[in-house]
């Protein structure tokens, strides 16, 4: 009976074994964490690129509607601005009022309260992500703070 109790009392890991396992886990975390953080930011940039492509697609789709095309191109330059932190989408033209083309763009994005929120370090604080439509129906952009934005741009 005493042998059975003694054998049952020695179950488990020693303190040294536990410390070795914890040390190995700490080394693995130290090696893998920077890679994981980089990959998370890359996925955020990719999501932002998809969101910007969605905005561009909404503009191009609006230009395919004849009445929207006519109203977007007749009044001069039209801009579509995305606020990276709030996600608010606004349109403006050189004319004085909102036109059917601008409404069509917003409808393609989900209505007048459309939100296109940015998550990457590069764009989440940007307040002026801008697309422009000229009198010929050409779409340029996005620009961020007046500078061209290249897809896949990551914060340094």
- The gap from C-alpha 140 to its chain's centroid, in whole angstroms, comes to 19
At residue 145's C-alpha, the angle toward residues 74 and 49, to 5°, is: 85
Could you give the strand order of the β-sheet that contains 139-144, starting from the edge strand earlier in sequence?
A: 89-93, 78-82, 129-133, 139-144, 147-148
Q: Is the pTM of this model over 0.95?
A: no
* pLDDT value of position 131: 92
3-state secondary structure of 11: coil
* pLDDT value of position 2: 57
Confidence label for 4 from pLDDT (cuts 50, 70 and 90): low
| pLDDT tens, position by position, 90-137 | 888 766 566 788 889 889 998 888 889 999 988 988 888 999 998 888
Task: Give the whole-angstrom CA distance, residue 59 versus residue 77.
Answer: 13
Q: Where are the domains of the chain?
A: 15-148
Cis check for the bond before 89: say yes or no (omega within 30 of 0). Answer: no
């Amino acid at each position: 009976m005493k042998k059975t109790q003694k054998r049952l009392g020695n179950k488990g890991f020693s303190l040294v074994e536990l410390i070795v396992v914890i040390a190995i886990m700490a080394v693995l975390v130290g090696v893998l964490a920077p890679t994981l953080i980089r990959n998370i930011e890359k996925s955020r940039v990719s999501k932002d690129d998809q969101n910007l492509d969605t905005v561009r697609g909404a503009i191009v789709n609006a230009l395919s509607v004849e009445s929207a095309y006519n109203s977007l191109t007749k009044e001069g330059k039209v801009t579509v601005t995305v606020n990276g932190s709030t996600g608010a989408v606004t349109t403006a033209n050189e004319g004085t009022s909102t036109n059917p083309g601008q409404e069509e763009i917003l409808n393609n994005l989900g209505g007048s309260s459309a939100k296109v929120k940015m998550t990457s370090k590069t764009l989440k604080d940007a307040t002026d992500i801008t697309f422009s439509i000229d009198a010929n129906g050409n779409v340029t952009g996005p620009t961020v703070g007046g500078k061209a934005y290249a897809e896949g741009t990551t914060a340094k």
